[in-house]
């Protein structure tokens, strides 16, 4: 059995042998050129696939391409979510004063990287778009004191993100 595994392991070609296949897939998935970054990511996925490959389940090339597809699909989904978040934060009306909380990219960072809970995210979004505490309370079904507590937590968590 060990001999057969060694023989099957030999059927995994070096990474350069898969580059034409990778380019073909990247074009089919309509990813933008140049492909240098995608090739670097593909190499990392190739290394991971070599470690995890089980010859009993499929051909290596099939396993590798499916892993690549899942990776780029996830990456595309994340990019789409980030674009939606930037759009959401950029629809704010003109601010009355120059407040750092009205900078869309800063708000995106706060929203994604300050570890807000789901309730805090909901309160943050509605506060940003101009809702009052009582309106937020009725919209998300929490008491006004819960909304006020969430706002305090948001200020505490985002204090490091804001410029002074």
* Domain residue ranges in the chain: 2-78, 90-158
Pair of tokens at residue 109:
């960072």
The predicted-structure confidence for 70-123, as pLDDT tens digits, reads as follows 888 887 777 766 666 666 655 554 444 455 555 555 666 665 656 778 888 888
Chosen CATH of 90-158 out of 1.10.10, 1.20.120, 3.30.70, 1.10.1060: 1.10.10
> How does pLDDT run across 23-58, given as a tens digit for each residue?
888 888 777 777 788 888 889 989 999 888 888 888
- Please give the Cα distance from 116 to 145 (Å, whole number): 18
CA 33 to chain CA mean position, Å = 21
In this predicted structure, what is the pLDDT of residue 96?
46
Is residue 105 within 8 A of residue 135, CB to CB? The reply is no
Q: How far is CA 59 from CA 1, 15, 51, 63, 66, in A?
A: 18, 15, 14, 6, 11
């Amino acid at each position: 059995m060990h001999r057969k595994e060694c023989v099957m392991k030999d059927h995994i070609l070096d990474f350069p042998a898969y580059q034409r296949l990778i380019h073909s897939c990247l074009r089919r998935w309509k990813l933008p050129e140049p492909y240098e970054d995608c090739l670097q990511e593909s190499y990392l996925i190739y290394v991971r696939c070599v470690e995890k490959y089980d010859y009993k389940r499929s051909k290596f090339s099939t396993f590798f391409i499916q892993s690549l597809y899942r990776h780029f699909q996830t990456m595309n989904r994340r990019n789409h979510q980030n674009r939606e978040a930037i759009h959401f934060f950029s629809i704010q009306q003109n601010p009355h004063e120059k407040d750092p909380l009205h900078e869309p990219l800063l708000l995106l960072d706060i929203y994604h990287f300050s570890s807000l809970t789901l309730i805090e995210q909901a309160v943050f979004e509605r506060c940003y778009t101009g809702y009052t505490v009582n309106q937020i309370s009725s919209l998300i079904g929490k008491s006004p004191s819960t909304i006020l507590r969430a706002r305090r937590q948001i200020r505490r968590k985002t204090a490091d993100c804001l410029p002074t």
